[in-house]
Amino acid sequence: MSGTQLETPVVRHSPSRGPGSPDVWGIYEPDTGSIQYVCANPATRKAALIDVVWNLDVQHYRFSTQSMDQVLDLVRENGLRVQWVLDTHPHADHVMASALLRARIGAPNGIGERVRDIAGIWAKLYNLPGTFDPARDFDRLFVEGETFRIGDLPVRVMLSPGHTLGSVTYVCGDAAFTHDTLMQPDAGTSRADFPGGTTEELWDSIQAILALPKETRLFVGHDYGTDSRDEPEWEATVGEHRATNRHVRDGTVREDWISLRNARDATLPLPDRILAAMQINLRGGRLPEPEADGHSYLKIPVDRF
């Protein structure tokens, strides 16, 4: 996939399949291969925004709200009312728009409660003790099995560690937002080599997701295309993954997958935004407080990775 901005965003609507099934829109962000989601209750028109991006130009360290604005335009065009601003985990490859969205539209923001543990790991890596306080920067810290509602549609939270130790999956009817666990079936699975991540836990998380009903629509966090596919994709059913996912289809041996995943992860560089993104995302998407000159500054650890 190209890292250049698309003139027209790639947006796809996955319509509700009936009572208890949400409308889902995916909005592709090409710089990081991220997919941002709008999950809406067709009856009440209430919606949750999931994993929305605050754009960072890493050549000039300037921020813009192009992706967030695209998401909010879609919300307005479809007559939706945002009830929740959600993230699945503190992202390493993009900066979350959570704090900006909460300020602009007044909806509460949420993430998994084990973000506290992730904050502890990264506070040591940055040598910033006491800096990150998820309870301050998120309105809800969801625990495993907790439920909340989008309108009258229940949403269940699944703890899905592996990519990070605090990643969560949101399951709303026949839609599950699986973040950086699975990729599309022709791409396989996501990496598990960031601080606190493990392939063993990622395997268990993927198996729990693939135990959902076969008709469940799985919406992944990223797509980078493949050698044979240029257009981004982000939706497939549990049944499709179990039949065709190149890494974890039915019959895959756990130890074989762990060996494959570890070998692949050992070849991957750090995402180019990670050292900025984690420092901001663990503040809920806020920049550090401005210093005396009115500017915010990021702290970059040297020789730690």
Provide mean pLDDT across the span 149-160.
98
Contact yes or no for 24/68 (Cβ under 8 A): no
Provide mean pLDDT across the span 194-199.
96
Provide mean pLDDT across the span 133-142.
98
Go through the domains of the chain in sequence order and give each one's CATH number.
11-279 (3.60.15.10)
Bigger pLDDT: 31 or 1?
Answer: 31
Task: Report the Cα 261 to chain-centroid distance in Å.
Answer: 20
Provide mean pLDDT across the span 173-186.
97
- Please give the full DSSP string across 235-277, using - where no structure is assigned: EEEHHHHHHH-TTT-TT--HHHHHHHHHHHHTTPPPPTTHHHH
Q: Fill in the amino acid letter for 297.
A: Y
pLDDT at position 6, please?
44
Contact yes or no for 185/236 (Cβ under 8 A): yes
Q: What mean pLDDT is reported for the chain? A: 96
pLDDT at position 305, please?
87
pLDDT at position 107, please?
98
pLDDT at position 268, please?
95
CA distance 86 to 101: 10
pLDDT digits (tens, 9 = 90+) for 211-225: 999 999 999 999 999
Q: How confident is the model at residue 83 (pLDDT cuts 50, 70, 90)?
A: very high
pLDDT digits (tens, 9 = 90+) for 248-273: 999 999 999 999 999 999 999 999 99
Percent pLDDT > 70 in the chain is 97
Q: Fill in the amino acid letter for 295.
A: H
Residue 205 is inside which H or E element, if any?
A: helix 199-210
Closest CA to 278 of 124, 78, 161: 124
Q: Is the pLDDT of residue 73 over 80?
A: yes
* Torsion angle of the four alpha carbons 302, 116, 98, 104, in this order, in degrees rounded to the nearest 10: -120
